[in-house]
Amino acid sequence: MSKFDRFGLGLAKGLALTGKTLLSRPNITVQYPEQRLDVSRRLRGPELVWVALKCTGCATCAKSCPQGSIELATSQELVDNKYEVVEFLVDHGRCMFCGLCVEACPFDALYMGRGYERAAYRRGDLVLPKEKLQMSADRQPSAYCRPEMEAELPLQTLLVYGQTRAKR
Amino acid sequence: MDWLHWLFYVGVILGAVPVMVMAFIWLERRGLGRLQLRPGPNRAGPFGILQPVADAIKVLTKEDIVPVAGDHWVHFVAPLVVFAPAMLVFTVIPFQEDGGLVRGLVPDLNIGILYIVAVSSISTIGVFMAAWGSNNKYSLISAFRSMAQVVSYEIPLALAILGVVLAAGTMSLTGIVQAQAVPFIVMQPLGFIIFFIAATAELNRTPFDLMEAESEMVAGYHIEYSGMKFALFYLAEYAYTVGISAIAATLFLGGWKAPWGVGPQVGVLWLVVKILLVFMVILWIRGTFPRVRVDQLMGFAWKFLFPLSLINIFIIAAESLAWPGLPWWLLFPNTAIALVLVVVWSGLFRLGGGRVQV
Ligand code: SF4
Ligand code: SF4
């Protein structure tokens, strides 16, 4: 701080700084629908991803859920020494995405997703049956609470300026 | 055809000012965005140019809420009292030189600048009416602040204008413009600085926007307003800003004249360009400086601007006595005096930067 900062020079310095940004226009706002930030692949996103092949229907997830937002039913008879999961419903409108069910699942059959934009017009649309819970191009599992998955992920910086990518 | 003249210019002012205000609102929001590292409104139309239109439509369709415990009539009239003076300012601004096509409503009013000073203080009453009619404590605090601020800053403002009147030898705005062979901003830099700061404070714009301080009082005096009444306050703020820019352009930047007489005399274009220039500086200042505290506000007016404006008047008066007609070379001593005075006076007192000193 120079001696003259208190004599009006400080004001001039401030004006010079903002004048510079006015002309150089560094723009840090992400134009959301057109531009998106890279989200972390370890994100505890607002959705669950369920892998039908691994699930045994043990219902540990449903019991561990503080919200009671998982509902599942298995077949009565054993098929190939296994109970078939006939119903697996997750009410995403009630879920608080705490991840307790993912942590509890002993067979790594349940993942947090890393999608967002999961809003719906009706509450009923947020209750997803097992077909919709499965992994798809749009519904990718995150590495939350899955250390073996996380180990394979590349190091990633998050929400850093310049890391935007256009999706469309 | 006297009535035709009045009808025409009332139409011009009522039409041109809101259009200009809308353009300036867009300009301000885009410019402020750039100053703050963001794009500003850019969704409505190309470059967000339709944003003021969208805002206007939104505001027109909003519900008009009147506080039950408030004073309904005062609440109703206040926006008009605030808005009308902002338009009245434009009646005496000369748009063009003598004999031009569009000269303005009453550009030759012999007490033009006195009229402006008188009329522009009326809006403070509107602010107080809005606060009183709202029956809201924040509104009232805001109105108190506004009163104190306007009373304090009116004095350096008027004294700075007096310097211009002394130099020009007339109160008519046309006369003042004609007297500026060299624009008064060069001849009286100190007067311009004082005028500009005091005018910014009169406008209640950042860094003197204490009465609208969002972080302290939500929205200040118009906290209880919604819909079109709120829009009137908003419009009035910008119309008044444009008005003050027009006054600054007329008093200090040579009004309708092309700079130093060079360049074509193209109608009101130079005036609009100069208004734009002053407006951009006000905007730049808004994007740069943080809000001052109440005690700093008062200290700045009474300890800095007031004595300096008195000194300014004495200098201008002495100069007009010694060298009638004020030759152009006086700009060198005047600039030097302005620089020295600002630096010396800043050293004479402290506003207690950052902390209240009790
Ligand atoms: S994330 Fe939490 S709230 Fe949601 S289903 Fe799993 S345990 Fe229940
Ligand atoms: S805890 Fe895992 S394996 Fe058990 S029912 Fe839930 S998802 Fe299936």
Before B207, cis peptide (omega within 30)? yes
pTM of the model: 0.77
**Does the pLDDT at position A5 exceed 70?**
no
Phi, psi angle pair for A110, to nearest 5°: -125, 135
Q: Which of B63, B78, B65 is nearest to B131 (CA)?
A: B78
Distance CA A69, CA A80 (A): 29
**Residue B55: what residue type?**
D
Per the structure block, which two tokens stand in for A168? 């469309």
Determine the pLDDT at residue B261: 64
Mean pLDDT of B53-70: 85
- Average pLDDT of span B311-321: 87
Report phi then psi at A40, rounded to 5. -65, 145
Q: Are A105 and A61 in contact (CB under 8 A)?
A: yes
Residue A11 placed within a domain: no
Give the C-alpha separation, B130 to B109, whole Å: 31
Position B182 scores a pLDDT of 77
Q: Quickly list DSSP for B62-74.
A: S-----TTS-HHH
In a domain, A33, yes or no: no
- Show Cβ contacts of residue B273 under 8 Å, excluding neighbours closer than 6 positions: none
The helix/strand count (H/E) of chain A reads as: 5, 7
Asked if residue A128 is part of any domain, the answer here is: yes
Q: Which residue of B has its CA nearest to A31?
A: B39
- Within a domain: residue A57? yes
Identify residue A124 by its one-letter amino acid code: G
What is the domain extent for residue A144?
48-152
Check if A30 has its Cβ closer than 6 Å to any atom of ligand 1. Answer: no
- Rounded CA-CA distance B313/B307 in Å is 10
Which one of the ligands is nearest to A104 CA?
Answer: 2
pLDDT at B352: 56
Q: What's residue A156's pLDDT?
A: 66
Give the CATH number, domain containing residue A133.
3.30.70.3270
Does residue A167 lie in a domain region? no
Q: Which of A16-20, B239-243, B342-346 has the lowest average pLDDT? A: B342-346
CA of A99 from ligand 1 middle (Å) equals 5
A160 occurs within a structural domain? no
Q: What percent of chain B has pLDDT over 70?
A: 93
Question: Which DSSP symbol is given to B43?
Answer: S
Per the domain annotation, does A15 fall within a domain? no
Q: What is the mean pLDDT of residues B179-190?
A: 80
At residue B259, does pLDDT exceed 50?
yes
pLDDT at position B30, please?
A: 87
Task: Please give the C-alpha separations between residue B248 and each of A128, B156, B191, B204, in angstroms, as whole numbers.
Answer: 65, 14, 11, 16
Ligand nearest to the CA of A50: 2
CB B241 within 8 A of CB B205: yes
Smallest CA–CA distance, residue A3 to chain B, in Å, is 11
Task: Work out the pLDDT band at A162, boundaries 50, 70, 90.
Answer: very low
Q: Which amino acid is at A13?
A: K
- The pLDDT, as a whole number, for residue A160 is 47
**Nearest-atom index, ligand 2, CA of A108:** 2
Sort out which chain B residues have CB atoms less than 8 A from A28's CB and list them.
Answer: 37-38
For A11, which residue in chain B has the nearest alpha carbon? B289
Decide if A15 and B288 are in contact by the 8 Å CB cutoff: yes
CA distances from B241 to A20, A40, A107, B304 (A): 24, 47, 68, 23
Q: Detail the DSSP E strand segments found in B121-275.
A: none
Q: What phi and psi, each to the nearest 5 degrees, are found at residue B108?
A: -100, 10
Query: For B29-48, what is the mean pLDDT?
Result: 83
Q: Residue A151 CB: number of other CB atoms within 10 A?
A: 8
pLDDT per position as a tens digit, B86-119: 888 888 888 777 666 667 777 777 888 888 888 8
Beta carbon of A105 within 6 Å of any ligand 1 atom = no
Mean pLDDT of the A87-95 span: 91
Mean pLDDT of chain B: 82
More confident of the two residues B176 and A121: A121
Given this model, what pLDDT does residue A161 score? 44
Q: What is the 3-state secondary structure (H, E, C) of chain A?
A: CCHHHHHCHHHHHHHHHHHHHHHHCCCCCCCCCCEEECCCCCCCCCCEEECCCCCCCCCHHHHHCCCCCEEEEEEEEEECCEEEEEEEEEECCCCCCCCHHHHHCCCCCEEEECCCCCCCCCHHHHEECHHHHCCECCECECCCCCHHHHHHCCCCCCCCCCCEEECC
Q: What average pLDDT does the segment A11-36 reach?
A: 79
At B263 the pLDDT is: 61
Q: How far apart are CA A133 and CA A88, in angstroms?
A: 9
Binned at pLDDT 50, 70 and 90, residue A111 comes out as: very high
Contact A27 B284 (CB under 8 A): no
* B177 neighbors B107 (Cβ within 8 angstroms): no
| B342 neighbourhood in chain A, CB within 8 Å | 7-8
Higher per-residue pLDDT: B143 or A164: B143
Question: Whose CA is closest to atom 8 on ligand 2?
Answer: A55
Q: Would you state the pLDDT for residue B106?
A: 74
Mean pLDDT calculated for residue range B231-246: 86
Q: What's the mean pLDDT in B25-38?
A: 86
Which of A114, A120, A115, A73 is CA-nearest to residue A93?
A120
What's the rounded mean pLDDT across residues A26-38? 75
Burial readout A38-73 (b: 16 or more C-beta within 10 A, e: otherwise): eebbbbebbbbbbbeeebebbbbbbeebeeebbebe
- Whether B49 shows a pLDDT value over 70: the answer reads yes
What gap in Å lies between CA A130 and CA A128, rounded to an integer?
7
Domain count, chain A: 1
Q: Are B227 and B59 in contact (CB under 8 A)?
A: yes
Vertex B74: Cα angle to B73 and B78 (nearest 5)? 120
| Chain B residue with minimum CA distance to A14 | B288
Reported in sequence order, the residue ranges of B26-157 that DSSP labels E, i.e. its strands, are none
Smallest Cα distance from B343 to chain A, Å: 5
Q: How many CB pairs under 8 A join A and B?
A: 45
Task: pLDDT band for A69, please (50, 70, 90 cuts).
Answer: very high
Residue A89 falls inside a structural domain: yes
Rounded CA gap, B358 and B356, in Å? 6
- Give yes or no for a contact between B92 and B173, defined as CB atoms under 8 angstroms apart: yes
What are the DSSP E strand ranges found in B119-269?
none
Q: How confident is the model at residue A167 (pLDDT cuts 50, 70, 90)?
A: very low
Nearest CA in chain A to B32: A22
How far apart are alpha carbons B68 and B224 in whole angstroms? 11
* pLDDT attached to residue B351: 62
pLDDT at position A60 is 93
- Give the whole-angstrom CA distance, residue B236 versus residue B84: 8
Q: φ and ψ at A86, to 5 degrees?
A: -90, -25
Q: What percentage of chain B has pLDDT greater than the value 90?
A: 1
| Backbone dihedral region for residue A90 (phi beyond 0: left; psi -120 to 50: alpha; all else: beta) | beta
Which residues on B lie below 8 Å from A17 (Cβ)? 288
Sign of the Cα pseudo-torsion (B183, B185, B186, B191, in order): positive
Confidence grade of residue A71 (pLDDT, cut at 50, 70, 90): very high
Bridge partners (DSSP) listed for residue A90: A70, A128
Substitution candidate for ligand 2 out of A48, A50, A110, A130 with most atoms within 8 A of CB: A110
**The pLDDT value given to residue B353:** 55
| pLDDT of res. A166 | 38
Q: Which of A50, A56, A90 to mutate to test the pocket of ligand 2 (most atoms within 8 A of CB)?
A: A56
pLDDT of the residue at A163: 43
Cβ(B83)–Cβ(B243) under 8 Å? no
Q: Which burial class, exposed, middle or buried, applies to B50 when counting CB atoms under 10 A from its CB (0-12, 13-18, 19+)?
A: middle
Residue A164 has pLDDT above 90, yes or no: no
What does the longest C-alpha to C-alpha distance in chain A come to? 88
> Which residue puts its alpha carbon closest to atom 6 of ligand 2?
A61
A96 or B177, which is more confident? A96
pLDDT attached to residue B171: 84
The two tokens of residue B169 are 């030898």
**Average pLDDT, integer, range A112-140:** 89
Whether the predicted pLDDT of B42 surpasses 80: yes
Strands A110-112 and A35-37: unpaired
What's the pLDDT at A63?
Answer: 93
- In sequence order, the 6+-apart residues with CB closer than 8 A to the CB of B97 are B177, B178, B256, B257, B265
Question: Ligand 2: residues within 6 Å at CB?
Answer: A 55-61, 72, 105, 107, 109-110
Q: Which residue of A has its CA nearest to B346?
A: A7
Query: How many angstroms is it from A49 CA to the middle of ligand 2?
Result: 11
Most B CBs within 10 Å, among A4, A9, A13, A29, to test the B interface = A29
